[in-house]
Amino acid sequence: MFKNDKMKKTFAERNLLLIVILIWVFLALVTKGNFSSWGNITNLVRQSSINGVVAIGMTLVIITGGIDLSVGSFVGLSGMLYAIFTSTSMDFQFSSGVSILIALSLCALGGLINGILVYDGKVPPFIATLGMMTLLRGVVMYISSGRMITGIPLEFKQFAVKEFLGMPVLAWTWIILVALMMFILKYTVWGRNLYAIGSNEEASQVAGINVRLHLYSFYSMAALFSGIAGLMLASRMAAGVPTAGQGYELDAIASVVIGGASLSGGVGSILGTALGAILIQTIRNGGNLLGIDPFIMQIIIGAIIILAVLFDQLAKKGGSRNLFKKIFQRN
């Protein structure tokens, strides 16, 4: 990442953290302490964690200048596969470890196919992953016959409700993955190549970076993180649900964009995405405590996404003055 981009990223992260803190203080005051109660905070973080894990993978793809609409379907696929392989209602059962390995491996394979379609097939990421999203939804409905699969192992269901040092284990899982990916993107060649490819794919190719294999890995990782989130969601729901993960792709994109990533590629951070995920869930949680209509909250979140993208475009094109010039410029 270029030095100027690093400065912009740090500035965006600090501003977003400040916004989150201010909203938390405001909600704590107007809800008379209900928002700031430890029970509500742990619930908020637990709710943020699953989308937050999906958004980690989405960050990788968006930094390349692509997008992945299939992440929500991988969430549903992973949880359903685990439930089918371990449910006592089935004629056969695998161990939890084997079932998790199979589910995550198939998700990574699906992500690899996305990468092949995008790089080798020259299919636009939007179209390639939209097709994968639809395909996987059909697969999940078919293998489950459109019904919820229960009877999964007790220890797996308990994972979602366990706590460590007062925080949900689901939240710790997210925190560990965020810290791990922050380290990888900052200190490894793979991470630096991600930003290089997102900034200029052709120049990266000339510089000797194997763009093909890197794109394969980025899309595979996005699907893998979605698979992990799918297992977390299945644990929380204590079942494999055929509609699980629907809409998660939109929340993931929102988290990444609000976190300061550029849809044109080359800019983005895992920490910014995590803060974006917390901000979205904070708005929803606060709106619920204040009794605001959920549909109104969706409108607010949509407006925030539009503003985040608009500000990104303005920053690249010279600010609002140039925008108004274009709007009012005479032919």
CA–CA gap between residue 271 and residue 251 (Å, rounded): 16
User: 151: alpha, beta or left, given left = phi > 0 and alpha = psi -120 to 50?
Assistant: left
Burial (CB < 10 A; 0-12, 13-18, 19+), residue 145, is exposed
Q: Which two tokens stand for residue 171?
A: 């939240």
CA 281 vs CA 36, 67, 187, 206, 276: distances in Å: 14, 22, 30, 42, 9
Domains of the chain: 13-329 (1.10.3470)
Per-residue pLDDT averaged across 249-253, rounded?
93
Element holding 167 (H helix, E strand): strand 167-168
Predicted local distance difference test score (pLDDT) of residue 331: 47
Predicted local distance difference test score (pLDDT) of residue 3: 54
More confidently predicted of 324 and 33: 33
Predicted local distance difference test score (pLDDT) of residue 190: 96
Could you identify the residue written with the tokens 């430890």? 38
CA–CA gap between residue 48 and residue 18 (Å, rounded): 18
Residue 330 scores a pLDDT above 60: no
- 157-174 tens-digit pLDDT: 999 889 888 889 999 999
- 57-67 tens-digit pLDDT: 999 999 999 99
Contact (Cβ atoms closer than 8 angstroms) between residue 13 and residue 278? no
Predicted local distance difference test score (pLDDT) of residue 56: 97
Q: Which amino acid is at 122?
A: K
Predicted local distance difference test score (pLDDT) of residue 8: 54
